[in-house]
Amino acid sequence: MVNRSSRIRIGAYGERYGLIIIFALMLGVFALAAPGRFLTWSNVSTVLGSQAVLVVITLSLVITLTTDLYDLSAASVLVFSSMVIAVLNVNLGLPVGVAVLIALGMGLVVGLINSYLVVKIGINSLIVTLGVGTVLNGLTLWISNSQTISGISDQLVNCVVVYRLFGIPLEFYYGLFACVLLWYLFDYTAIGRQILFVGRSPQVARLNGIKVERVQLGALMSAGLINAFAGVLYTGTTGAADPGSGLSYLLPGFAAAFFGSTTIVPGRFNPGGSLIAVYFLAFGISGVTIQGVETYVQNLFYGGALVVAVTLSQLVRRRRT
Amino acid sequence: MGEGTRQAAVGRLCPRLEFKNLSKTFGSTQALKNVTFTVHPAEVHALVGQNGSGKSTLIKILAGYHNPDSGAELWIDGKPVRLPMQPGKYRQYGISFVHQELALILSITVLENLRAEELCLQGKWYISWKEEIRAAKDLLSRFELDIDPLAKVEDIAPGSRALLAIVRAVEAMRERGGLGEGGVLVLDEPTAFLPREDVERLFSIMRLIIAQGASVIFVSHDVDEVLEIADRITVIRDGSVVATVLTNETTKEALVEKIVGHPLPAGHGKKLSSGSSDSGIPKIIIRGLTGGSVKGISIEAHRGEILGLTGLLGSGFSDIPPLLFGAMRATEGRLILDNVSYELRAMNPCKAIEARLVLIPVDRRSEGLVEALTVVENMSLPILRKFNRWRLNHAGIVRNTRTLIADYEIRPADPQKKVGELSGGNQQKVLLAKWLQTKPLLVLLNEPTHGVDVGAREQIYGILKRQAASGTTVLCASSDCEELAMICNRVLIFSRGEVVEELAAGELVKEHIAQRTHIAGSSLGERATENGQ
């Protein structure tokens, strides 16, 4: 009896912290395979600093997925926000702070449009965000003449990647802060509970007096805002805005969100798990790249991780119900 | 073959379908005991009985959904059929079912529903829609149904949907050569939600089918309808066949007596219009409530009273809780609660909760609780506002849940257990604890012990009585007469959306409630009661 319950407990711990243990093992293996190159502070801080955009976009997906909505426009909002900043700052000469605020406001507007179509009109979120995202891609090409715009104010670049704390660019801390904030919101506020119930069963939520539509609206609007913020970080990282490359954040974002739902709070999309998942994938790619493997490995890694993660989370859920 | 020859065959030759020695045991309860059930060619054979009498078990065995106990025999057209019947095998024998849920897809057209099986399974490489539309129009007009084949099913009247499902079943039977040579159409409570004129149309369809030589098994609650359409009637009570009678050799009173199992008492129930003799001012007044299948009802209840609402399927009693709570849209009506008046048309769950109403819905799995979340998460939902919304005190919430778990004797006593891992009875206790901790003024119950084991049932009754004793009013919609007899102070009986009878404390005996429900619930019930007085 004691034996059995302790085995169950070990199983639960294994489920909860399994990814962290594998993460640690992976770091060990790469450290041994490339002594003095992989586990150096400069490599570690580079990897930590380079993933803030992905962390932030993943957090926005965690919010929408928890509400049982799919936001395929996430990366499009990111790119559009980035381009809005570039056009306003470089072409029109607006102060970068103003440009950033306008870009964030634009994210809210996109969230509002998404939620109007999903919540009020009742169209499937997958379709709405696919369409809205494509429209945004078109707008991005239009306002940029399909060109990369560089020369964005140093102020932004400094605040994102140049200034460092403990050798790590500030943007890492922005991602970390957003993660802590979302974790708090999910676990320690009534709003977090409402999001959870709306996502799991809108009918139960409604009969419990939760304003389901308002929660869905809030989720899509905050997702828009957060994606626009990811765009700000993206612009700050490169000092430029290009109309295409940011779109490739969508799949890794989903991969990390699903992968993250297998750890920390197994069976639920959660900010902590997502953060770990992002860095698990990033260090994995860094490790194999240092081994001299070609860059196509990135696609293998993210695509494979998405499929593995979804399979794992399915298995976890099945076992638990 | 002429009509005459076929009629002559009735009762002379082998029956179309015959169950012998049919028993079915679920765990420790015997749902069917040694049942013999015979359907002749070209007859409407009604199967009647109370809720839980075993009617639907019999139908489900015929559909291959349940396996009967060994020893059972099924004969079709004089040939033995191997039991258990493989699911779907009934088709080969020309048997067709219309279940209460109708199994229509609402979002596609009438035509696609009608021809679903043929279109999906025949593997045609070219579907001639012109041809299909013509065939569907033909078919619908043959049954005198004025339905556009290209309309979506969700856009046609609910009554027409039921008829459409029946036409489809008949058509399926005909295509397999069942009609006219051994087909059996099984209708499971088809009239429960139909308005009277659609019942008439249904009956004419049934007569049409019989005229073509097929048989109909008609499962119903409604004694008057059964007497109107059936050739023979089999009554099932507590899993046994009480009697099989010819319709023209029985009366309504005799039939009801067989259904509920004891003779009718001399006195009838008190009519609602005579008014309540209870002293004191009613605390809860419902005026002119219309919505769902309820038509302009008014109800008054006192503080601390448990008021039962019952009736047959489709009579509207079960719509009262969701209508009051705003979970279902009311078209008219007011609720007056401790002198505060609420417009029910504008009611929604948020407002209802603010007015201190709680609803324990009938389907706790899809409406009451989220099974994938834990007991503490489910239970704390309505009281989060009592904690700081921006800094939830998890320790306090868990402590509160532990107290409730102890008070309501929920097993296992683990706040972190997923609700889906609890038994039905414990889930229901979680649901009650969750809402009763908010100290409601009015508790709305819909089948409070549905799918709950006997032990938990007693506990739930205890909880409800205690709650009422503390001054809360409880409205309990239930089709379980034993339950109503055990906990209610009064019971209102519904029929066709209206309250037709009120049973006072002295009359609350299980059998009496059942009897009054059947008398009142049959379509001519009101008239019959009036004549009786």
pLDDT at B82: 85
Which residues lie below 8 Å from residue B93, measured CB to CB, with a gap of 6+? Answer: B76, B81, B178, B182, B184
Q: What is the distance in angstroms between the Cα of B304 and the nearest Cα belonging to chain A?
A: 24
Average pLDDT over residues B119-142: 81
Name the residue of chain B whose CA is nearest to A207's CA: B349
Write the secondary structure of chain A as one string of H (helix), E (strand) and C (coil): CHHHHHHHHHHHHHHHHHHHHHHHHHHHHHHHHCCCCCCCHHHHHHHHHHCHHHHHHHHHHHHHHHCCCCCCCHHHHHHHHHHHHHHHHHHCCCCHHHHHHHHHHHHHHHHHHHHHHHHHCCCCHHHHHHHHHHHHHHHHHHHHCCCCEECCCHHHHHHHHHCEECCEEHHHHHHHHHHHHHHHHHHHCHHHHHHHHHHHCHHHHHHCCCCHHHHHHHHHHHHHHHHHHHHHHHHHHHCEECCCHHHHHHHHHHHHHHHHCCCCCCCCCCHHHHHHHHHHHHHHHHHHHHCCCCCCHHHHHHHHHHHHHHHHHHHHHHHHC
The mean of the pLDDT values for chain B is 83
Average pLDDT over residues B202-208: 88
Q: What is the distance in angstroms between the Cα of B382 and the nearest Cα belonging to chain A?
A: 7
CB contact under 8 A, B327 and A267: no
The dihedral built from the CA positions of residue B8, B14, B18 and B21, taken in this order, carries a sign that is positive
CA separation (Å) from A190 to A193, A212, B338, B439, B487? 5, 14, 30, 20, 36
User: From the list A190, A201, A211, which residue is nearest B392 (CB)?
Assistant: A190
CB contact under 8 A, B390 and A193: no
Q: Which residue has better confidence, B153 or B3? A: B153
Give, as one character, the DSSP assignment of residue B368. Answer: I
Phi, psi dihedrals of residue A233, rounded to the nearest 5° = -65, -40
Q: What is the distance in angstroms between the Cα of A237 and the nearest Cα belonging to chain B?
A: 34
Please give the interface size between A and B, counted as residue pairs whose CB atoms are below 8 Å apart: 68
CA separation (Å) from A84 to A23, A94, A240? 38, 11, 11
| Measured torsion, CA atoms of residues B342, B348, B349, B351, in degrees rounded to the nearest 10 | -40
Q: Could you tell me which CATH number the domain at A36-320 has?
A: 1.10.3470
First to last CA, chain A: 22
Q: Decide: residue A236, CB within 10 A, 0-12 exposed, 13-18 middle, 19+ buried.
A: buried
Single-letter code of the amino acid located at A255: A
Q: How many C-beta atoms lie closer than 10 Å to residue B274's C-beta?
A: 9
Residues of chain A positioned with their CB less than 8 A from the CB of B418 = 320-321
Question: Residue B271 — pLDDT band, cuts 50, 70, 90?
Answer: very low
- Which residues, given as ranges, of chain A have pLDDT below 50? 1-2, 321
Name the residue of chain A whose CA is nearest to B359's CA: A207
Domain ranges of chain A: 36-320
CB contact under 8 A, B368 and A188: no
- Paired strand residues for B495: B498
Sheet containing B340-343, strands listed edge to edge, beginning at the edge strand earlier in sequence: B294-301, B284-291, B332-337, B340-343
Residues of chain B positioned with their CB less than 8 A from the CB of A188 = 390-392, 394
pLDDT at A184: 93
pLDDT at B146: 84
Q: What is the distance in angstroms between the Cα of A289 and the nearest Cα belonging to chain B?
A: 41
Average pLDDT over residues B201-217: 88
pLDDT at B255: 87
Q: What is the distance in angstroms between the Cα of B61 and the nearest Cα belonging to chain A?
A: 30
User: From the list A193, A211, A321, which residue is nearest B384 (CB)?
Assistant: A193
pLDDT at A9: 62
pLDDT at A163: 87
Determine the Cα–Cα distance for residues B284 and B299; give it in Å rounded to an integer: 8
CB contact under 8 A, B389 and A189: yes
Contact B206, B237 (CB under 8 A): no
Disruptive mutation site among A200, A201, A319 for chain B (greatest number of B CBs within 10 Å): A201
Average pLDDT over residues B36-49: 92
From chain A residues 165-194, the ones with a CB under 8 A of any chain B CB are 187-193
Please choose, from the candidates A94, A91, A89, A136, the residue with its C-alpha nearest in 3D space to the C-alpha of residue A113: A136
User: Kind and range of the H or E element at B338?
Assistant: none
Question: Residue B512 — pLDDT band, cuts 50, 70, 90?
Answer: confident
Residues of chain A positioned with their CB less than 8 A from the CB of B368 = 204, 207
Residues of chain A positioned with their CB less than 8 A from the CB of B371 = 321
CB contact under 8 A, B389 and A207: no
CB contact under 8 A, A201 and B353: no
Q: How many C-beta atoms lie closer than 10 Å to residue A133's C-beta?
A: 23
**What is the value of pTM for the model shown?**
0.77
pLDDT at B279: 44
pLDDT at B263: 66
**ipTM exceeding cut-off 0.85 for this assembly:** no
Which residues lie below 8 Å from residue B399, measured CB to CB, with a gap of 6+? Answer: none
B353 in A contact zone (CB under 8 Å): yes
Q: What is the distance in angstroms between the Cα of B389 and the nearest Cα belonging to chain A?
A: 5
Residues of chain B positioned with their CB less than 8 A from the CB of A189 = 389-392
Q: What is the distance in angstroms between the Cα of B363 and the nearest Cα belonging to chain A?
A: 10
CB contact under 8 A, B368 and A204: yes
User: From the list B350, B367, B389, which residue is nearest A209 (CB)?
Assistant: B350
Quick: pLDDT tens for B87-127: 777 878 888 888 877 778 888 888 888 877 777 766 677 77
CB contact under 8 A, A207 and B349: yes
- Paired strand residues for B97: B186
Query: Each residue of B453-492: b (16+ CB within 10 Å) or e?
Result: eeebbebbbebbeebbeeebbbbbbbbbbebbbbbbbbbb
Q: What is the distance in angstroms between the Cα of B265 and the nearest Cα belonging to chain A?
A: 43
Which residues lie below 8 Å from residue A227, measured CB to CB, with a gap of 6+? Answer: A56, A57, A60, A71, A73, A74, A75, A77, A78, A81, A107, A110
Residues of chain B positioned with their CB less than 8 A from the CB of A207 = 325, 327, 349, 359, 361, 367-368
pLDDT at B276: 41
Q: What SS3 state is found at B485?
A: helix
Residue B268 pLDDT > 50 = no
Please choose, from the candidates A107, A48, A109, A103, the residue with its C-alpha nearest in 3D space to the C-alpha of residue A74: A107
Name the residue of chain B whose CA is nearest to A210's CA: B350
Determine the Cα–Cα distance for residues B171 and B139; give it in Å rounded to an integer: 8
Q: How many C-beta atoms lie closer than 10 Å to residue A264's C-beta?
A: 21
pLDDT at B4: 44
First to last CA, chain B: 51
ω into B412 cis (within 30 of 0): yes
User: From the list B369, B387, B394, which residue is nearest A204 (CB)?
Assistant: B369
User: From the list A188, A189, A200, which residue is nearest B373 (CB)?
Assistant: A200
User: From the list B389, B390, B418, which residue is nearest A321 (CB)?
Assistant: B418
Residue B219 pLDDT > 80 = yes
Residue B459 pLDDT > 80 = yes
Per the document, the length of chain B is 533
Query: Each residue of B425-436: b (16+ CB within 10 Å) or e?
Result: bbbbbbbbbbbb
Which residues lie below 8 Å from residue A208, measured CB to CB, with a gap of 6+? Answer: A197, B349, B353, B381, B382
Determine the Cα–Cα distance for residues A164 and B334; give it in Å rounded to an integer: 65
Residue B185 pLDDT > 80 = yes
Residue B165 pLDDT > 60 = yes
Q: What is the distance in angstroms between the Cα of B396 and the nearest Cα belonging to chain A?
A: 12
**The most confident of A208-222, B67-81, B251-265, by mean pLDDT:** A208-222
From chain B residues 356-395, the ones with a CB under 8 A of any chain A CB are 359, 361, 366-373, 377, 380-382, 384-385, 387, 389-392, 394
Name the residue of chain B whose CA is nearest to A206's CA: B349
